[in-house]
């Protein structure tokens, strides 16, 4: 299933946040969205997920999701958004509870999601008993349980320490490549964008416009190889050159405000 | 002998000129349970009190000794007076609290979820909440007659407002990201309310219950003092009028135990439902 974004503009009152955003996310493709702070990355993701309504513009889904998909556009939240009174398994089961599924099918989906995110030993733990990385795994399992067609991720690793982030990113990528769900990945982190994405959409400072779409031709599995490092470093430099002036101007805007 | 990686063996810290030990300064400010101290303090005060009365430092007519209060309690229990008055007060508290809390929950949830209900309800709640509800009892007697109804309604109205405010605050402070999470999975409105909003608001609601129970206890005594033949409040008033201070203080002890008991029940409920915190 593809997702097509056509946002003419979006504003919070007088504040223009997004302008002329056109994006076509193809089935199985991962698009990272980067840009300076406050450029509207999370707003764009909210609009794509139907959680925010664009002031002017629309989002379309094209093609059919798989038959077992219960929620084609599925979010993974930066702050995990877990229900602290529910166990891991109960949190993962939450999105299934309003669907008419046989008890066996529900249990199968939950167990499968827990296994794939390596959480099967923690099914009965409460979120407070888990580390940040484990909590985000629960967030990922909860997203996988509905067999999504497109994953929408709002800086899913930013609340984690650097080591946990790297570990989880590799697991995340493995999962993703197996699932072949499409994804939109909002991040500040070039390293994450270069590791995960097929394309990187660079937004300008507020109001966010598409400044450039950078394509990464190296397959994700080969990006840790030595041979890929020079090209990835070049891409990183290019991204930084695209964003540096915008970021520093956005920073000055915050100081002047 | 200590080893210094730069200079080899070193003398103990105290012997080297210019070297000072860093003293621990991080203690205190940590609440530590001291159950024994609580009991000791309680028993010490009772002992002092008993001694003061026994040694005639205090006139027992004005302040009877703990042992006299204990005897009065025993007498009231044996004669059935205690249960007669207590059961009626409990019935009034129970009825008033259930009605007031039930309505308070409905209105509080409504105000937390609906902007219209909030706009209509908030000014009214703010205006009526500060009125001492016992002041309405004469009016309620006029409307509802002399019977159980005005007392129960007084308690219900006293319980209603703290419940509304606690419930509204609890619902209003549910993290919005949890609601957005529910919406992102297409959860129906009812599912979001039952599975996300209410459990999330529960700590605030239970805190409101604690306040409303104390209010109910206060109001039952006041209402029974104004217009009742039986009940702990009526019993206290009669004992006071007859200068039976041992009976009067026995009634006060019963109220204290009742308050502690109700508080303990709430603590158990909190432990059962809020173990995730």
Q: Give the pLDDT means over successive 10-residue stretches in chain B (277 positions).
A: 54 71 86 88 95 92 93 94 93 96 96 93 91 87 88 94 95 94 95 96 94 94 90 94 93 93 93 89
Find the closest chain B residue to A143 by CA distance. Answer: B185
- Put simply, the answer to whether A71 touches B186 (Cβ < 8 Å) is yes
Instruction: Give pLDDT tens digits for A214-242.
Output: 999 999 889 989 989 999 999 999 999 88
**Sequence-separated contacts (24+) of A171-178 with Cβ below 8 Å:** A171/A117, A171/A118, A171/A137, A172/A140, A172/A196, A173/A220, A175/A116, A175/A117, A175/A140, A175/A144, A176/A30, A176/A151, A177/A220, A177/A221, A178/A116
- Residues in A closer than 8 angstroms to B276, CB to CB, are 84-86, 126-128
Q: Which domains does chain B show, CATH number per domain?
A: 66-273 (1.10.3720.10)
Q: Cα separation of A198 and A152, whole Å?
A: 15
Q: Phi and psi at residue A23, in whole multiples of 5°?
A: -150, 135
Residue of B179, B182, B183, B184 for testing the chain A interface, max A β-carbons within 10 Å: B184
pLDDT single digits (tens) A100-153: 999 999 999 999 999 988 899 999 999 999 998 899 999 999 999 999 999 999
pLDDT tens digit string along A241-251? Answer: 888 877 777 76
Answer yes or no: do A83 and B195 touch at CB < 8 A. yes
Give the pLDDT of residue B203: 94
- The residue in chain A having the minimum alpha-carbon distance to the alpha carbon of residue B186 is A71
Report pTM: 0.83
- Would the CB atoms of B184 and A51 count as touching at under 8 Å? yes
Numbered residues of chain A with Cβ closer than 8 Å to any chain B Cβ: 49-51, 71, 73-75, 77, 79, 81, 83-86, 94-95, 97-98, 126-128, 146
pLDDT mean over A191-218: 92
Closest C-alpha to A119, from A135, A105, A143, A107: A135
Domains of chain A by start residue, with CATH: 1-65+150-162+178-257 (3.40.50.300)
Q: What angle do CA B69, B70, B76 make, to 5 degrees?
A: 85
Q: Residue A114: name the closest of A77, A141, A135, A140 by CA.
A: A141
Contact B85, B231 (CB under 8 A): yes
Sign of the dihedral through C-alpha A136, A139, A145, A150: negative
The ipTM estimated for the assembled molecules is 0.90
Which residues of chain B make contact with A74, given a CB cutoff of 8 A? Answer: 184-185
* pLDDT number for residue B15: 66
Chains A, B: CB contacts within 8 A come to 51
């Amino acid at each position: 299933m593809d997702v097509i974004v056509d946002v003419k503009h979006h504003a919070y009152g007088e504040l223009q946040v997004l302008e002329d955003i056109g994006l076509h996310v193809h089935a199985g493709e991962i698009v990272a969205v980067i840009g300076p702070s406050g450029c509207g990355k999370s707003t764009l993701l909210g609009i794509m997920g139907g959680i925010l309504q664009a002031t002017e513009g629309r989002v379309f889904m094209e093609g059919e999701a798989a038959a077992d998909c219960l929620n084609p556009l599925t979010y993974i939240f930066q702050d995990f958004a877990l229900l602290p009174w529910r166990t891991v398994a109960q949190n993962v089961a939450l999105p299934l509870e309003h669907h008419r599924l046989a008890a066996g099918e529900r249990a199968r989906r939950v167990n499968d999601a827990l296994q794939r995110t390596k959480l099967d030993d923690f099914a009965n733990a409460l979120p407070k008993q888990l580390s940040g990385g484990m909590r985000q795994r629960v967030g990922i399992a909860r997203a996988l349980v509905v067999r999504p067609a497109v994953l929408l991720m709002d800086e899913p690793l930013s609340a984690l320490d650097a080591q946990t982030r790297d570990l989880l990113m590799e697991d995340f990528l493995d999962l993703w490549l197996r699932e072949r769900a499409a994804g939109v990945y909002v991040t500040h982190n070039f390293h994450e964008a270069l590791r995960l994405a097929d394309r990187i959409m660079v937004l300008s400072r507020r109001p966010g416009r598409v400044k450039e779409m950078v394509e990464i031709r190296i397959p994700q599995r080969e990006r840790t190889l030595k041979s890929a490092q020079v090209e990835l470093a070049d891409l990183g430099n290019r991204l930084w050159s695209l964003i540096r002036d915008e970021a520093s101007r956005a920073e000055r805007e915050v100081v002047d405000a | 002998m200590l080893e210094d990686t730069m200079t080899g063996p070193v003398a103990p810290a105290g012997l080297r000129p210019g070297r000072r030990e860093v003293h621990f300064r991080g203690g205190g400010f940590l609440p530590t349970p001291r159950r024994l101290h609580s009991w000791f303090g309680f028993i010490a005060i009772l002992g002092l009190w008993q001694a003061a009365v026994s040694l005639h430092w205090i006139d027992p007519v004005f302040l009877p000794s703990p042992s006299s209060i204990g005897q009065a309690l025993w007498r009231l229990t044996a004669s059935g007076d205690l249960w007669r008055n207590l059961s009626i007060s409990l019935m009034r508290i129970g009825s008033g609290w259930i009605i007031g809390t039930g309505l308070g929950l409905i209105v509080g949830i409504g105000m937390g979820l609906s902007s219209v209900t909030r706009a209509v309800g908030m000014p009214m709640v703010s205006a009526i909440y500060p009125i001492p509800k016992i002041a309405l009892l004469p009016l309620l007697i006029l409307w509802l007659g002399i019977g159980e109804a005005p007392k129960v309604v007084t308690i219900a109205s006293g319980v209603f407002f703290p419940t509304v405010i606690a419930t509204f605050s609890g619902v209003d402070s549910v993290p919005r990201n949890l609601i957005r999470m529910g919406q992102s999975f297409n959860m129906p409105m009812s599912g979001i309310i039952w599975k996300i909003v209410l459990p999330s608001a529960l700590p605030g609601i239970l805190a409101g219950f604690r306040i409303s129970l104390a209010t109910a206890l206060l109001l039952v005594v006041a209402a029974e003092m104004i217009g009742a033949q039986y009940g702990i409040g009526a019993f206290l008033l009669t004992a006071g009028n007859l200068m039976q201070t041992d009976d009067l203080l026995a009634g006060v002890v019963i109220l204290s135990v009742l308050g502690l008991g109700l508080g303990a029940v709430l603590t158990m409920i909190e432990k059962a439902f809020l173990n995730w915190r």
